[in-house]
Structure 1
Amino acid sequence: MPETTTDQPTRIAGGAVVPVLAFAGIVVAVMQTLLVPVIKDLPQLLDTAPSNATWVLTSTLLSGAVATPIMGRLGDLYGKRRMLVLSLAVMVVGALVSAFTDQLLTMIVGRTLQGFAMGAIPLGIGLMRDMLPREKLGSAMALMSSSIGVGGGLALPAAALVAQHTDWHALFYGAAGLGALAILLTFLVVPESPMRAAGSFDLLGALGLSAGLVLLLLPITKGSDWGWSSGTTLGLFAAAVVVLLLWGLYELRVQAPLVDLRTTARREVLLTNLASIMVGVSFYVVSLVLPQLLQLPTATGYGLGQSMVVAGLCVAPLGLTMMFTAPVYARLSARYGPKFTLITGLVVIAIGYGGGLGLMDAAWQTIITSVILGAGIGLAYSSLPALIVGAVPASETGAANGLNTLMRSIGTSVSSAVIGMVLANTANNVNGVAVPTMHGFRVSFLIATAAVAVGLVLAVFLPKTARPAQHTQLRASSEEEANLERAEEVLRGFRGRILDAGGAPVARAKVTLIDRRGRQAGATVSAEDGSYALAVPAQGAYVLAARALGHGPLASSATHSGEERTVALDLSLPGEAVNA
């Protein structure tokens, strides 16, 4: 999925771009966790069974899981800011649909539309990658990636306050207003990225991914009602496996896939994405368990009898701690690399859930659990985009980060479905109302701990990354310098100068990298001193084609071993041919 630039210079990102993009991420998180304070009341509010009410949350996570790679790919093709605005607009429409209904199916439709806003996370990271100087990119991506937790933590007490004192539908009006504000700020502050990828949109791949994920999550949530050994449950699981396998085979064959599985198959990308699923599982468990534990009446013998607002305030440190870990991550990553910070984050999460099993007897204990988990999740979330960006060519940033966010969304979707099923199956029936039990809460924490353990093993096997360079980086002030800085982020590639027939440097020469199949694998424009740099996606033989106004074209064959090093190659353009 090669990426090219327009003829216009890259616009310089203003100081407000990162806060606005982070605000968009916070709005997405608010939407995602909007109903957590009223989750225990959803069956009564919608007049349905607890297992059905779970889909009000799961549908949002599921549509978000599907939307992330779709919006990432559309952003690469048609403009990241344009798709960011579109995803937020769909969220606003969904919030308004939910605001006017008490019917389960209509509510699920509205929540499904709201889930499309999850595409804002990879789009925001992609915009940062395209516009920011290298020295600011790491901390900015960490802030954007952590915004999902920051918004969730801030949304819990605010949503609880609204739900406790007004009609719960007001939550959706608030979400719609925040979404509209994010759209306005994006239009006013965030410039469109000039980077574009070649190819077309993979509609069949999008439909296949959607169908596979629905077939997978539906029996997880309804298996206890249908029976885990029933024909319906087993049939849906089998259908999910078949559909996802066929989808994978199709993605490997299509020329412009929604998800580049070959890129995904790289060790560092594959392990990072698998670890992302585990981080997603661990993040959502605490958001589902602690608010319910805090709000259950003390008459149960284990409930803490707190109001919605107090419960929200006790869980709020989860998001606030994630926000404060962003600068900590930047320092740790700069010194030790993102792999180290990911492992550190997972260890802290494991400590939080392990200790949390014994810290469920008082409200202050849940605050301690929230702080520890927030610190760990913040470090882990901040590390993931940096690991992905460092492992793929610049042309695949949007799609690769979209896939990584997809993995996190799959983790939260599975977490919502599984924890909802666990709490429903272990609940006691009191006067026709299902009341979660302490056993269900502890099992949920154990599931999260097991997921973190798996994620830790995956992170340990990530390949070692080079320690970040300590020298000062200059701000990208033109299209040429921006392209060079992007290429420098991946050490593997070609580097050199474009020269004329007399050996003088040629500025603004278009340099194209072509792989052995004749496909464009990258493109850049030479700087004022004639220098260029191009990253290669893999080892192999390539052709570097260069052309510039007033000079004849040149095509030069070159081979790269695939090692983390640059191959020096100067290209001398012949004089322009003159027809007789």
Structure 2
Amino acid sequence: MPRPGLPYLCVTPPRPARGKHINTPRPRGVVPDISGIGERYDVRYAWRAAPVLGSVALVVMYTEAMLMPSLPKIQEEFNVTPADASWILTVYLVVGTISAALFGSLGDMFGKKRMLVLVLSIYSVAVTFTGYAPSFPLLLLARGLQGLGMAMFPLAFSLIREEFPPEMVPTAQGIVSAMFGAGIIVALPLGAYLSQSFGWRATYHTVTPFAVLLTVLIATYIRESRYKTPRPVDYVGIGLFALMASSFLVAVSEAPTWGWTSGQTLAFFALAAAAGAALAAQETISEHPFIPKDILNRNVVAATTAIFMVAYAFQMSSQNLSYLFEMPPPYGYGLDILSTGLYMTPMAVVQIVGAPVAGRLLWRVGARRMSVAGVVLAVLGFQLASAYAYSGVWTLIGYLSIAYLGLALLNVSLINLLTFSVPRNRLGAATGLNTVFRNFGSAIAPAVAGTVLTTFSTIAYYSLGGFKAYFSVPSTSAYSINFDIATAMFILALVPIAIAREVFTREGRAAAAAAEA
């Protein structure tokens, strides 16, 4: 039986026969083979590899967060409409969602490090080219290639679960989650400063050396995964999934511009539904399906569903907050982009500190209880923000920091619940599916939040030389409604969390070990 406090793969080693003494030396820093299935873990390597793999999230989030303050300048330089400029984000999201699922599965087949180096190499070229894009179509092409950056997340999470001692995995996953917040802290104020002082292209020029350096570090220091499942590629399944995901994401992203009931929007939704039905039929009859059936267990379904809801709530609150900070008084706080980024720093700091601590506590607390604690904190923070949105910027930041701490707990507990619930030769596919659902939630939320802000609006004006210029701004109730919707999504996430089977208990570890065997 597993010893209390140890991960489910670590079982008590057999005692030597009476009268015999075993004193086999082993290298320092290497955990002995006590799993019964040939496992050996190098703790020193794990501690060296954790910050390298965590830097994947840092580089990608740094790049994407720096882009946001630059969008108006990009639109102005290429003389495109706001609807056209929205494709800068849409094409990245579409390609990223497809590539996360695709390269996650390819990592299971051919090696996760190999796929990670390939994806990161293409990403480095893409961010370099974006900074020199001579035309808007070529800029969109480069942004599409940047979407491959999303495939790095499932590959990095999978390598951590495979190569790290199980008791270290939650902490390492927490470090990766913390890097999301670190990237935002650096990028928002720095991106605004670079864009205002040197132009938007300078923001991409600062990314290139870090992306290239990270590629070299991963190629040099990260070990290849030990778990591979070579099998034929389901090209039909991949094509149908790509069609379904791209149609759905385009419909959701462009609905605020086209109209939710317009012919274009409905056509893309119908195409997504048809492709989804065809994909379900294909995966049922395929001998080697693109989405392996054995990963669709109770915990994976629960974790991905909860991740969808959490991502939705987070993106809705982020969109809400950006408008609330930047709208002119008395309808908002009238902050510029740089000030907005600086004021949001405490919320990112909370995530940086909270995520690794949550990882260290996960073996004691359990994924389900930590997820519930995260929901409670998020609901409390967003409800306080909803009730006191205009009570002062620092008061609002304090309330939202409570919510973002809850978000950190949820991110760490849900990704570990998922990675400890599937065989390690299927980790790429499972974590890729997790990224897909996260992106779906992230895509829907801004569209809904924007619709609420537009629907519940009021007319404001400013005087200019004796004339009054009228314009529409979100009303005070619009912000409260969006915070309330985010709160409701967090509460709904309790349903899949309650359905999940705990894996950070003695019984849960035993069940997971049996499933993996």
TM-score, length of structure 1 as denominator length: 0.73
Closer/same/farther in 2, CA of residues 176 and 365 from structure 1, 3 Å limit: farther
Deviations 1:189-229 (A, max 9, x none): 21222322121333332222221122112232333444433
Asked whether the equivalents of residues 331 and 473 of structure 2 are also in contact (C-alpha less than 8 Å), the reply is: no
Distance in structure 2 (CA, Å) of the matches to 1:261 and 1:154: 40
Equivalent residue, structure 1, for 2:12: none
Asked whether the equivalents of residues 131 and 204 of structure 2 are also in contact (C-alpha less than 8 Å), the reply is: yes
Deviations 1:296-325 (A, max 9, x none): 333xx2232223222111112222211211
Question: What is the CA-CA distance between 1:17 and the residue it aligns to?
Answer: 0.5
Closer/same/farther in 2, CA of residues 353 and 439 from structure 1, 3 Å limit: same
Deviations 1:427-456 (A, max 9, x none): 779879886655554443233223222212
Deviations 1:79-117 (A, max 9, x none): 211211222222223323332347554333322221211
Secondary structure at the aligned position of 2:224 is classed as coil
Alignment partner of 1:444 is 2:474: no
Equivalent residue, structure 2, for 1:406: 436
Alignment partner of 1:353 is 2:382: yes
Distance in structure 2 (CA, Å) of the matches to 1:70 and 1:390: 21
| Among 263, 279, 283, the residue aligned to 2:314 | 283
Closer/same/farther in 2, CA of residues 419 and 122 from structure 1, 3 Å limit: same
Distance in structure 1 (CA, Å) of the matches to 2:46 and 2:185: 28
Secondary structure at the aligned position of 1:197 is classed as coil
Distance in structure 2 (CA, Å) of the matches to 1:292 and 1:286: 10
Instruction: Give the number of the structure whose alpha-carbon radius of gyration is greater.
Output: 1
Equivalent residue, structure 1, for 2:466: none
Equivalent residue, structure 2, for 1:268: 299
Distance in structure 2 (CA, Å) of the matches to 1:413 and 1:45: 26
Secondary structure at the aligned position of 1:165 is classed as helix
Question: What is the CA-CA distance between 1:255 and the residue it aligns to?
Answer: 2.4
Equivalent residue, structure 2, for 1:294: 325
Partner AA of 2:382 in structure 1: Y
Distance in structure 2 (CA, Å) of the matches to 1:489 and 1:150: 36
Secondary structure at the aligned position of 1:232 is classed as helix
Alignment partner of 1:492 is 2:514: yes
Secondary structure at the aligned position of 1:115 is classed as helix
Deviations 1:258-278 (A, max 9, x none): 2224522x2221111111101
Which aligned pairs between 1:225-244 and structure 2 lie closer than 5 A?
Answer: 225-244=257-276
Closer/same/farther in 2, CA of residues 11 and 136 from structure 1, 3 Å limit: closer
Asked whether the equivalents of residues 97 and 110 of structure 1 are also in contact (C-alpha less than 8 Å), the reply is: yes
Distance in structure 1 (CA, Å) of the matches to 2:130 and 2:473: 26
Deviations 1:345-374 (A, max 9, x none): 122122222222234333213421442232
| Among 150, 165, 178, the residue aligned to 1:118 | 150
Distance in structure 2 (CA, Å) of the matches to 1:33 and 1:247: 34
Equivalent residue, structure 2, for 1:502: none
Asked whether the equivalents of residues 178 and 353 of structure 2 are also in contact (C-alpha less than 8 Å), the reply is: no
Alignment partner of 1:75 is 2:107: yes
Equivalent residue, structure 1, for 2:364: 335
Closer/same/farther in 2, CA of residues 28 and 388 from structure 1, 3 Å limit: same
Closer/same/farther in 2, CA of residues 436 and 185 from structure 1, 3 Å limit: farther
Alignment partner of 1:315 is 2:344: yes
Distance in structure 2 (CA, Å) of the matches to 1:228 and 1:356: 29
Secondary structure at the aligned position of 1:18 is classed as helix
Secondary structure at the aligned position of 1:134 is classed as coil
Distance in structure 2 (CA, Å) of the matches to 1:24 and 1:144: 8
Question: What is the CA-CA distance between 1:145 and the residue it aligns to?
Answer: 3.6
Asked whether the equivalents of residues 147 and 323 of structure 1 are also in contact (C-alpha less than 8 Å), the reply is: yes
Closer/same/farther in 2, CA of residues 223 and 441 from structure 1, 3 Å limit: same
Secondary structure at the aligned position of 2:138 is classed as helix
Question: What is the CA-CA distance between 1:424 and the residue it aligns to?
Answer: 5.7
Secondary structure at the aligned position of 1:357 is classed as helix
Query: How many corresponding residue pairs?
Result: 470
Deviations 1:2-54 (A, max 9, x none): xxxxx999877253200110011211222332323345666556544444433
Alignment partner of 1:218 is 2:218: no
Equivalent residue, structure 2, for 1:458: 496
Partner AA of 1:17 in structure 2: A
Asked whether the equivalents of residues 247 and 271 of structure 2 are also in contact (C-alpha less than 8 Å), the reply is: yes
Which aligned pairs between 1:184-263 and structure 2 lie closer than 5 A?
Answer: 184-263=216-295
Deviations 1:499-527 (A, max 9, x none): xxxxxxxxxxxxxxxxxxxxxxxxxxxxx
Partner AA of 1:348 in structure 2: L
Equivalent residue, structure 2, for 1:473: none
Asked whether the equivalents of residues 197 and 395 of structure 1 are also in contact (C-alpha less than 8 Å), the reply is: yes
Deviations 1:392-432 (A, max 9, x none): 12221221112112211222122244334544666779879
Question: What is the CA-CA distance between 1:337 and the residue it aligns to?
Answer: 0.8
Which has the higher mean CA deviation after the structures are superposed, 310-319 or 435-444?
435-444
| Among 45, 54, 62, the residue aligned to 2:94 | 62
Distance in structure 1 (CA, Å) of the matches to 2:57 and 2:421: 23
| Among 353, 363, 378, the residue aligned to 2:408 | 378
Closer/same/farther in 2, CA of residues 199 and 84 from structure 1, 3 Å limit: same
Distance in structure 1 (CA, Å) of the matches to 2:77 and 2:383: 34
Deviations 1:117-157 (A, max 9, x none): 11111111211122211221221122224433432343222
Alignment partner of 1:388 is 2:431: no
Partner AA of 1:78 in structure 2: F
Closer/same/farther in 2, CA of residues 131 and 262 from structure 1, 3 Å limit: closer
Distance in structure 2 (CA, Å) of the matches to 1:443 and 1:48: 32
Equivalent residue, structure 2, for 1:557: none
Partner AA of 1:182 in structure 2: L
Give the RMSD, CA atoms, in angstroms. 3.1
Equivalent residue, structure 2, for 1:181: 213
Which has the higher mean CA deviation after the structures are superposed, 113-122 or 359-368?
359-368
Distance in structure 2 (CA, Å) of the matches to 1:432 and 1:211: 43
Question: What is the CA-CA distance between 1:159 and the residue it aligns to?
Answer: 1.6
Distance in structure 2 (CA, Å) of the matches to 1:125 and 1:55: 29
Secondary structure at the aligned position of 2:109 is classed as helix
Which aligned pairs between 1:425-436 and structure 2 lie closer than 5 A?
Answer: none
Distance in structure 2 (CA, Å) of the matches to 1:208 and 1:149: 34
Alignment partner of 1:96 is 2:125: no
Distance in structure 1 (CA, Å) of the matches to 2:189 and 2:306: 29
Asked whether the equivalents of residues 51 and 421 of structure 1 are also in contact (C-alpha less than 8 Å), the reply is: no
Partner AA of 2:264 in structure 1: T
Which has the higher mean CA deviation after the structures are superposed, 74-83 or 50-59?
50-59
Question: What is the CA-CA distance between 1:292 and the residue it aligns to?
Answer: 3.6
Alignment partner of 1:148 is 2:180: yes
Which has the higher mean CA deviation after the structures are superposed, 377-386 or 436-445?
436-445
Secondary structure at the aligned position of 1:259 is classed as coil
Closer/same/farther in 2, CA of residues 288 and 31 from structure 1, 3 Å limit: farther
Distance in structure 2 (CA, Å) of the matches to 1:434 and 1:58: 26
* Identical amino acids, percent of aligned pairs: 27
Secondary structure at the aligned position of 2:260 is classed as coil
- Structure of greater relative contact order (alpha carbons < 8 Å, 6+ residues apart): 2
